[in-house]
Structure 1
Amino acid sequence: MKENNHQKSNRESKNIVISDKMPGLPYSKGIMASSIMATGLAPDIAYKVAGDIENYLKQNEIFSLTVKRLRNITYRTLKERVGDEVAERYLRWQSLGRLGKPLIILIGGATGVGKSTIGAQLANRLSITRLVSTDIIREVMRASISEKLIRPLRGSSYNAGQNLSYPLPGGDPVILGFREQTLAVVVGVQAVMRRAVDECTHIIIEGAHICPGYIDISNLVNGAVDMQVVITVDNLQLHKDHFLIRNIETRGSRPFLKYIQNIDSIRKIQGYIVSLAQEHGVKIVNSYNLDLTLNEILDYMNEVLVREFEVPAGQKAASQIPLRA
């Protein structure tokens, strides 16, 4: 019998709900699109796929389903609409919870390369609610520890050399000041990381003090899936333009001129951070376009997850086993 308009209207307006882990929670295209964006798909494509999934459920009168079945349908839809690689990425990200480990993303780089913006966009793509800046950690530490230890924490990363506790002859004060401040701030960074492991909570930590070789992750082995990237801006004029844009966006609270006057020190610190990243094998991302930068970081995250899910030869990785309804 042909479906009349009234029946069609009732079917399309009926809510789809999750029946197991989140009983009664309605299906949301926005939430689904966010989970799909973790694969690196553009927001508009992810939202379209989320809409296709909703249409499939309604057309097949599936108004109540488990999380597992929904993921299986999403996996199949991504395979059909976008391809195997994206579908595998989605399944791998969704399977991260089965490891019982948090994802800790560390984003480093000199002042003005876009770490805060990249961190915020990445948190949105991955639905990570905890985003911490090392500048905030530094301020908290300044307010809670002794005056003797506060000295290295004064000022910004690029002028910390003015506050050296023990000035050393023959060294570059810009790099020495940055090193001393980073060593102090990293104490707080590692405390935040340990808390994330204890609570099994995904977190992104960004800041100039996320410097390769300074953060000891040995005590987090098997406790977290960690990845570290260094953001750079190779082009000097583009780097200056970042400060101008930031000045406009913050309505002058982060004045353009202050950073331009210190650009030589900022660029010197960038060179130091990049050299350490090369020495320690940390991923370097040259940022000149936000979308491309985010996609490169998400591609790298997928590589990290592939390694995390690797199992002995002859066995399938969890990311390669399709979920069944």
Structure 2
Amino acid sequence: MRIQIDGKKIPYPLGSLRGRLLLAGLSELQAAQAIHEILTSEDLKDPEETDLQKLVLSWLATNKLSSVAHYENLLAYDRARSRPDGPPPIIVAIEGASATGKSMIALDLLTRLNATRYISTDTVRHMLRGMFSETSHPELHCHTYQAFRHKQEGPTELHETVRGFISQTNLVQPKIMELTHRVLLEGAMGVVEGVHMIPGSLHSLGSSAIEVLVSPSEELHEAMFQTKRSVGKLKSVSGDEGERRDEFEATCRIQEFMLSKARIENVTIVEFEHYEGAVEQISSRILETVDALI
């Protein structure tokens, strides 16, 4: 499919339209039905972007869906962003300890936001490992729940596992902040995900930076943690059951620390039982932010 923008025909990704409809509140089935009926409409001939938007609004109104108000607000936000003095782009930061579901949630949100910038804190940690040797910074060359063996920082009353996590995060988080700030200046929508963000750390970036902490039940968290090697095919994850149990206990301590910080810093805590439910909770938070920005 192609649409006209500024008098030029360019390819238009249907995934972008699908994501916007899902963010507005449509189900997967409703979004698929809407796209099919719009694409087969006789009115869709060499459309401009505004023509496509009108067809979507008409379809939503015809089918009497309450999502029409959300879709209209998203369009208003996009138009406002085109102005020199318009609102900033939205950045969603998905936080939580290892194996809480952050990465898979991020993939879904990239589509819903039509975000073109993605920052993984694990990727940043890998880049830093290339800059700092294991000899100089051993706390960087291990998992967050193992860092305490090499270095500990933060209040002494905290558990050693948490203090090790803080020592590794103190190396990674400043780079995350720097990259996220650059994305905001660039004007691009983005998603940041990973363990190396202490809740509340992005408050300084402004009202368009949304922090959420993913919080599965302990039973679900343990199941996801124990199956991370088989599901993710990660060679860096131990296959020893006893070792993994100890590592899960350490991870729980990090998660509890992050939960306590989220409550203090008023960061949204997403209760996670299913991916669909978690994504819907975050989508609602995004829509609230859009309403506030326009």
What TM-score, normalized by structure 1, do the two folds share? 0.78
**Structure 2 partner of 1:226:** 209
Corresponding residue for 1:88?
Answer: 69
* Cα separation, 1, equivalents of 2:244 and 2:76: 43
Partner of residue 131 from structure 1, selected from 118, 122, 137: 118
Structure 1: distance between partners of 2:197 and 2:126: 16
Equivalent residue letter for 2:96: G
Deviations 1:2-34 (A, max 9, x none): xxxxxxxxxxxxxx7523347323666544223
| Cα RMSD for the two superposed structures | 2.6
Change (3 A) 1:48 1:166: closer
Q: Which residue in the other structure is 1:186 paired with?
A: 173
How far the C-alpha of 1:123 sits from its partner, in A, is 1.1
Contact map agreement 2:145 2:251 (CA 8 A) in 1: yes
Corresponding position of 1:161? 148
Aligned mates of 1:40, 1:22 — CA distance in 2: 31
2:266 maps to 1:284: no
Q: How many residues align?
A: 285
- Residue 76 in 1 paired to residue 68 in 2? no
Separation in structure 2 between the aligned mates of residue 275 and residue 211 of structure 1, nearest angstrom? 10
Q: Which amino acid aligns with 1:229?
A: V
How big is the shift at 1:171? 4.2
| Mapped contact 1:17–1:23 kept (Cα < 8 A) | no
How far residue 164 of structure 1 moved from its aligned partner, in angstroms, is 1.2
Question: 1:131–1:19: structure 2 CA closer, same or farther, 3 Å change rule?
Answer: closer
The structure-2 alpha-carbon separation of the partners of 1:228 and 1:291, relative to structure 1 and needing over 3 Å to count, comes to same
Q: 1:149 to 1:285 in 2, by over 3 A?
A: farther
2:224 to 242, 256, 265: 242
Extract unaligned runs of 5+ from structure 2: none
Q: What secondary structure is seen at the aligned counterpart in 2 of 1:232?
A: strand
Which of residues 187, 199, 202 is equivalent to 2:186? 199
* Normalised TM-score (structure 2): 0.86
Of the structure 1 ranges 33-42 and 43-52, higher mean CA displacement relative to structure 2 is found in 33-42
Are the equivalent residues in 2 in contact too, given 1:158–1:266 (CA < 8 A)? yes
Q: How many Å apart are 1:133 and its aligned residue? A: 1.3
- 1:37 partnered with 2:22: yes
* 1:193 Cα deviation from its structure 2 partner: 0.8
Judge conservation of contact 2:225–2:248 (CA < 8 Å) in 1: no
Letter in 2 for 1:306: D
User: CA 1:29/1:140 → structure 2, altered by over 3 Å: closer, same or farther?
Assistant: closer
Larger radius of gyration: 1
After TM superposition, the structure 1 = structure 2 runs for residues 43-54 of structure 1, keeping only pairs within 5 Å, are 43-54=28-39
Native 8 Å contact 2:102 2:193 kept in 1: yes
Identify if the C-alpha distance between structure 1 residues 305 and 168 changes in structure 2 by more than 3 Å, giving closer, same or farther: closer
Distance 1:24 1:286 in 2: 43
Q: CA 1:136–1:95 in structure 2 vs 1: closer, same or farther (change >3 Å)? A: same
Could you say which residue in structure 2 is the equivalent of 1:107? 94
- Aligned positions of 1:242-321 closer than 5 A: 242-251=224-233, 253=235, 254-255=237-238, 257=241, 258-309=243-294
Aligned residues with identical type, % of pairs:
22
Q: Residues 171 and 287 (structure 1 numbering): CA distance in 2 closer, same or farther, change over 3 Å?
A: closer
CA shift in 2, pair 1:127/1:28, >3 Å: closer
Q: Quote how far apart the aligned CAs of 1:89 are.
A: 1.6
Q: 1:166 to 1:255 in 2, by over 3 A?
A: closer
Contact 2:202 2:209 (C-alpha < 8 Å) held by counterparts = no
